[in-house]
Amino acid sequence: MKAAIVTIGDEILIGQIVDTNSGFIAKSLDRIGVEVHEMLSVSDSREHILNTFLKLQNEVDIVVITGGLGPTKDDITKKTFCDYFEDELVVDAAVLEHVTQLIEGFYKRPITQINKDQALVPSKCTVLYNKVGTAPGMWIKKENTVFVSLPGVPFEMKYLVENEVIPKIVQDYKRPYILHKTILTYGRGESAVAEQLEEWEDNLPEFIKLAYLPSYGRVNLRLSARGINRDLLEKAIEENVFSLTKIIGDIIVGFEEDETIQVILGRMLSKRNLTLSTAESCTGGKMAEMIASVPGASNYFKGSVVAYATEVKINVLGVSEDLILEHSVVSAEVAKAMALNVKKLLKTDYAIATTGNAGPSKGEADAGVGTVYVALATPNEVLVEGFDFGQPREKVIDRASVKGLEILLKEISKKE
């Protein structure tokens, strides 16, 4: 079963808002075995919308549309629906009653004609009742394709997808199973991982596909299995994940698609009752931001010193001025001193420090642009690594921040 997702609205096309609806809808459809064939964003233009419907007609089984269902003149989806399906708008009594109760009962103001017009729906459609807003959803079939129109307001769209659209698809259609398993790896680049897995990938069953999802310091591997026998799919994925761990088990850190390195790290620190601090120069607090973004981070993260300027390294962190003069502010020796001193200052089990030249100019450092030193102070020793992260500046900061967390994660993992 194939689907297309269409978002309607000039505000998306000019970059005024970011389309988050399509991602939510795609995940919801995927969970019930519906393959998303295409995603489109179109303008608030009758001709554009009609041409899009015509293009998708009989090409996919279901088209899910969001946007254009509001009460203002620029919201034209319902009228365009009528044009495409040769239909007319009629008042749905249940929707009108709901809108009236919402406006007069909840918002405590007189209902207007614009509000009442929200109850107008194409006569041929199945109404999807929206209990959290005024715009109902619409479900209507033409030939071999179902068109579903939903409001663009995210929380209203989500309510209708979860409570109306998905249950109706499950009830009306037979679908294959689509199962995914995501393996999180850190510390090795995409090409290096692919080279290691070439033979393993070639021997995957035909119904299992492997996708590489790289980002800074991280490569997610997603196994997707599609078929009619769920037990067979689950068993095949389990067996292939097991064989995968024998090949790259040293870089696998988790198995949840939405987990980040800071979430995994936070769970490990909490489990072991360990504490962490950071001293950041070139990363400017980025590492601390990543760590603190995890709910419950206060259980293990004690704080950070953003020692961006040399005098802060000296006066706050207590790094020796002579050490800086001898080795330069961007050096393994200074990174080591920063990690040791912030660990002592904030009384933590572990501390990560970064010092480097993120660019675009060299500044007061001797090291080239892109050079970063990352130090990890553990209860027993200090580990220091040097890197050349190149350019641009944002890439250097992001990669250095992730690398610091990655080094800590590897070190803690050794204790298991």
222 in the same domain as 268: no
CA 162 to each of CA 91, 111, 196: distance values in angstroms, whole numbers, following the listed order: 25, 29, 40
Please list the ranges in the chain whose pLDDT falls under 50: none
Helix and strand totals (H; E) in the chain: 16, 17
- Residue 155, classified by CB atoms within 10 Å of its CB into exposed (0-12), middle (13-18) or buried (19+), is exposed
What does the block give as tokens for 223? Answer: 């196994």
140 in the same domain as 12: yes
310 in the same domain as 283: yes
Strands 350-356 and 301-306: unpaired
What does the block give as tokens for 284? Answer: 């400017």
165 in the same domain as 221: no
157 in the same domain as 24: yes
Which residues on neighbouring strands pair with residue 404, listed in sequence order?
Answer: none
Q: What is the pLDDT of residues 273-331, one digit of tens each?
A: 999 999 999 999 999 999 999 999 999 999 999 999 999 999 999 999 999 999 999 99
- Residue 259, classified by CB atoms within 10 Å of its CB into exposed (0-12), middle (13-18) or buried (19+), is middle
DSSP 139: E
Q: Which CATH number does the domain housing residue 232 bear?
A: 3.30.70.2860
Say if CB 372 and CB 354 are below 8 A apart.
yes
The residues near 225 (Cβ < 8 Å, ≥ 6 apart) are: 177, 178, 179, 180, 205, 207, 208, 209, 233, 236, 237
Q: Which CATH number does the domain housing residue 303 bear?
A: 3.90.950.20
267 in the same domain as 240: no
Strands 382-388 and 371-377: antiparallel
227 in the same domain as 153: no
Range of the domain at 64: 2-172
User: Looking at 172, 199, 214, which one is the last position of a domain?
Assistant: 172
pLDDT for position 259: 73
Say if CB 262 and CB 294 are below 8 A apart.
yes
181 in the same domain as 87: no
232 in the same domain as 93: no
Q: Which residue has the tokens 């995957």?
A: 204
Q: Which CATH number does the domain housing residue 142 bear?
A: 3.40.980.10
Burial 57-95 (b: 16+ CB within 10 A, else e): eeebbbbbbbbbbbeeeebbbbbbbbebbebebeebeeb
- Residue 186, classified by CB atoms within 10 Å of its CB into exposed (0-12), middle (13-18) or buried (19+), is buried
pLDDT for position 232: 94
Helix (H) or strand (E) holding 353: strand 350-356
Say if CB 339 and CB 353 are below 8 A apart.
yes
Distance of CA 17 to the CA centre of its chain: 17
Q: Does the predicted model carry a pTM greater than 0.95? A: no
User: Looking at 207, 239, 254, which one is the last position of a domain?
Assistant: 254
309 in the same domain as 246: no
Say if CB 71 and CB 114 are below 8 A apart.
yes
373 in the same domain as 335: yes
pLDDT for position 359: 80
User: Looking at 142, 172, 202, which one is the last position of a domain?
Assistant: 172
What CA–CA distance (Å, rounded) separates 349 from 305? 16
393 in the same domain as 305: yes
What CA–CA distance (Å, rounded) separates 63 from 241? 34
Number of domains in the chain: 3
What CA–CA distance (Å, rounded) separates 85 from 415? 65
Say if CB 204 and CB 222 are below 8 A apart.
no
